[in-house]
Amino acid sequence: MTQDLSRLAIQCFDRLAPFYDRKTANRKKYNTAIDNQIIKYLLKQDKPKVLDVGCGTGSRAQKLKGKIKGSRFFGVDASTKMVEIAKTKKLDSVLKTNMVKLPFEDSYFDDIICLFNSFGYLSDYQDRKKTLSEFYRVLSKGGLLFIDVMNAWHLGEEKEFKRSLLTVFWEWLFAVINPRLSAGDKIFSIDVGAFQISGFVHGFTDHEMRDLLKGAGFSIHKFLIIGYNSGEIKKKPRQGQFFYVAKKIN
């Protein structure tokens, strides 16, 4: 069952790849707010070696690399079509691989970025645990993981993305009672031109993410709630998506 959901997620991004950069442009404020947080940390490092997990088309990693003098950026993605596009960008290396098992030596990277809920396309809890353990393994001591995830109970803030609490509750309940899904899971469809693309995604609670990060050995250095439309830092958990800066302490 989980393999079917994983295939659905990958097929979604294979089909979405040619339109991905245009489709995500409507979240520019949100993504820029997170990028600015990451840049603050990377500018303090001397020529960091960074892995972008779920790099997609590579556009974001290329942008970040251009902001950090002497940095090296590597990308991995499970989508063949995304990797084909990412390989045309000015990155140091791009590989097609599943994030559950990374083809790198221990302590190879100074930092990892896993952005725009790439982590949420893993289809089950065990894969999420294994993936964070892999992130921990390939990070050097003191290395940082920058990760943002979809807040399962996010109600939105403006017309472009706003949900009622009742809608969120019913989505959660449907996932719980559906034998194909688990709490926080969602099968979605998005319009691209004249056709629809179906996919799978998992939304997280803050408690769930903290347990996963700490279970893998990470110390949570920073936590922010960021508005999905405005890019503003919010105070209430239901007002935005979750962004974590986690540190490898050993």
Nearest to 89, CA basis, from 115, 64, 117:
64
List helix spans (H) across 51-96: 59-67, 80-86
Q: pLDDT, tens digit, for every residue of 208-227?
A: 999 999 999 999 999 999 99
Q: For the whole model, what pTM was predicted? A: 0.96
Domain ranges for the chain, please list them: 2-152+203-248
Mean residue pLDDT across the chain:
94
Q: pLDDT, tens digit, for every residue of 7-54?
A: 899 999 999 999 999 989 989 999 999 999 999 999 999 999 999 999
Q: pLDDT, tens digit, for every residue of 123-147?
A: 999 999 999 999 999 999 999 999 9
The confidence score (pLDDT) of residue 81 equals 97
DSSP β-bridge partners for residue 124 = none
Per-residue confidence band for 162, with pLDDT thresholds at 50, 70 and 90: confident
CA 245-123-107 angle, to 5 degrees, is: 40
**DSSP letter assigned to residue 204:** B
Burial (0-12, 13-18, 19+ Cβ within 10 Å), 9: buried
pLDDT higher than threshold 60 for residue 1 = no
In CATH, what number does 2-152+203-248 get?
3.40.50.150
φ, ψ (nearest 5 deg) of residue 213: -65, -45
Residue 120 near residue 199, CB atoms below 8 Å: no
pLDDT higher than threshold 60 for residue 198 = yes
Q: pLDDT, tens digit, for every residue of 72-119?
A: 999 999 999 999 999 999 999 999 999 999 999 999 999 999 999 999
Say how many C-beta atoms besides its own lie within 10 A of residue 38's C-beta.
22
